[in-house]
Structure 1
Amino acid sequence: MPIRTHIADRIGEIVIDHPPVNALDSQGWNELPGLVERLGRDREVRCVLIRAEGRGFCGGVDIKEMQAHPERIVELNRGNFLTFRAIRGCEVPVVTAVHNFVIGGGIGICGASDVVIAADNAYFSLPEVDRGAMGGASHLQRMFPLQKVRAAFFTGGRIPAAEAYRLGAVEAVHPSERLTDEARAFAAIIASKSRRALVLAKEALNGIEPRDVDHGYRFEQGFTLEMYMHEDSQRSRDEFVATGTAAKF
């Protein structure tokens, strides 16, 4: 199973485990929202923890699927949107633990979460400009200052965990071998609180945000679709699938 869940000690865990790089296809992205919502509604659960196994946290979307089936872009977009909205709207706090690469849709998961715990080898990246796509900046901008987001987006560059911690985007940075234990320990502190208090606190905090991240991401997705319809998008995907590098223009 690419995604599995379990509940222990009032923490509902969602584990992404889809080798080689935890890049989910349109089906995977459309399954994830239901898992988040189900755990969030469970009266036993007081905190949801999202983490991953393997080489890195999340490689985003399955570029090979989009290359072979570009008609699935609308289905994929909807799955991304529903996933991030479900995480942000989850009844209880969501903690996300990340290691190594956090790319594309992985950014959306983090940006929609309440708390991010990172391994010391983690980095955040939106390489969409080199993949013939758009989207993700709305959630990255929920984590980082505006100019930092634009610099990363225009260059397709990386923001390492240490820099993310300096800027306040992640709560803590731990050695990768301790990440899961440390994330569970942090989630356990939340899970020790009154569920009712957590539910009300989550709703209140979402309500006082200065902007609507869901609306912002939905706005971005219009440009994602427009980009996918341009010939440069196919050229970018072809080059990435063939060589793993960015196309030259």
Structure 2
Amino acid sequence: MSTLPGLEDLTVFRIEVADGVATIFMDRAPVNAQNGVFRDEVTRIFDVLHETDEVRAIVLTGAGKTFSAGADLKDRPNVATRGAYPRHSRAVRAGFDCVMECSKPVIAAVNGAAIGAGCVLALVCDIILVADDAFMSMTEVDVGLAGGVKHVLRHFGQSDARMFLLTARRLSGTELYRMNVASGCYPKADLLPAAQDMARQIAGKVPLAVEAAKRAFTLNEYMPLREGYVYEQTQTALLAKTEDTKEALAAFAEKRKPVFKGR
């Protein structure tokens, strides 16, 4: 459940907001499998948080022992129904795109199994932290499906990506950290506090600058070096004229905590 306007009627998610950080718990027992309701709610959540000023950073994690066991195979489209697969595929993409397009940085706190679509949901987050006994796996080849290659390639080296996808092997939290897929690996009890602490650090930065940095990461992934850097410089020039940047510089000079207004 949530008290945020527009999100009062959630059924498979819980949201807690404190200190500028929204912690989203996937809460569809037993394993947070993703069905139509799940995808509709996750898209709604990130669209609302995108425009919620009191939230400046987000943590996404699973309730219970699982992050997300992936797509609910009982909720597959009927191949005999024309148009069913395009509609289904569009909804699946939206459930991932909303995380990448959200203006607020998103930290995945992978507390347990992240399988298939659950793995992809972690990979579309801005920062990935894992519990040492958690794991990721892409099991599509085991059930005659395919998908996730592009998102896997964003985080894994070429050989590791192929090994991961073609063997459907489980990679533990410690392996993911060693392979530089995750930025931190923690005992399970320490994972969520660590993710929330990192989110609070982000929430304390200049909001417009954080949003500009996330936007630059998203766009620069597909830009040549020169064009990407030129884009970043234009963003810096625009930020220099904002009240928050002026406040950040003044607070630094005066050795005090800045007070940001989001403009």
TM-score by length of 2: 0.75
Contact kept, 8 Å, 1:57 with 1:101, in 2: the verdict is: yes
Write the mapping of 1:138-153 to structure 2, written as runs, cut at 5 A: 138-153=150-165
Residue 113 of structure 1: how far off its partner (Å): 0.9
Over the matched positions of the two proteins, sequence identity in percent amounts to 29
Q: Which residue of 2 aligns with 1:217?
A: none
Contact kept, 8 Å, 1:107 with 1:139, in 2: the verdict is: no
For residues 114 and 60 of structure 1, what CA distance do their matches in structure 2 show?
A: 19
Which segment is superposed worse, 5-14 or 93-102? 5-14
Structure 1: unaligned runs, 5 residues or longer: 212-249
1:4 to 14, 26, 37: 14
Contact kept, 8 Å, 1:22 with 1:57, in 2: the verdict is: yes
Please tell me the residue identity of whatever aligns with 2:108. Answer: T
For residues 55-98 of structure 1, give each alpha carbon's deviation from its aligned partner in whole angstroms, at most 9, with x where no partner exists: 21001110122288985544432222012111111101111100
For residues 184 and 209 of structure 2, what CA distance do their matches in structure 1 show?
A: 24
Higher helix share: 1
1:13 to 18, 23, 26: 23
| Highest RCO, 1 vs 2 (Cα 8 Å, sep ≥ 6) | 1
Change (3 A) 1:164 1:199: same
Contact kept, 8 Å, 1:165 with 1:173, in 2: the verdict is: yes
Write the mapping of 1:174-213 to structure 2, written as runs, cut at 5 A: 174-210=186-222
Q: Which residue of 2 aligns with 1:87?
A: 99
SS of 2:185's equivalent in the other structure is strand
Please tell me the residue identity of whatever aligns with 1:98. Answer: V
Larger gyration radius, structure 1 or structure 2: 2
Q: Tell whether 2:194 aligns with 1:170.
A: no
| Root mean square deviation of aligned Cα | 1.8
Which segment is superposed worse, 179-188 or 59-68? 59-68
Structure 2: unaligned runs, 5 residues or longer: 1-10, 224-263
TM superposition outliers: structure 1 runs of 4+ over 6 Å? 67-70
Please tell me the residue identity of whatever aligns with 1:46. Answer: R
TM-score by length of 1: 0.79
Change (3 A) 1:170 1:68: same
For residues 80 and 13 of structure 2, what CA distance do their matches in structure 1 show?
A: 24
Q: Which residue of 2 aligns with 1:133?
A: 145
Contact kept, 8 Å, 2:77 with 2:88, in 1: the verdict is: no
1:48 to 55, 58, 63: 58
Please tell me the residue identity of whatever aligns with 1:174. Answer: Y
Residue 111 of structure 1: how far off its partner (Å): 1.5
The count of residues paired between Structure 1 and Structure 2 equals 211
Change (3 A) 1:39 1:202: same
1:101 to 113, 116, 122: 113
Contact kept, 8 Å, 1:59 with 1:103, in 2: the verdict is: yes
Q: Which residue of 2 aligns with 1:24?
A: 34
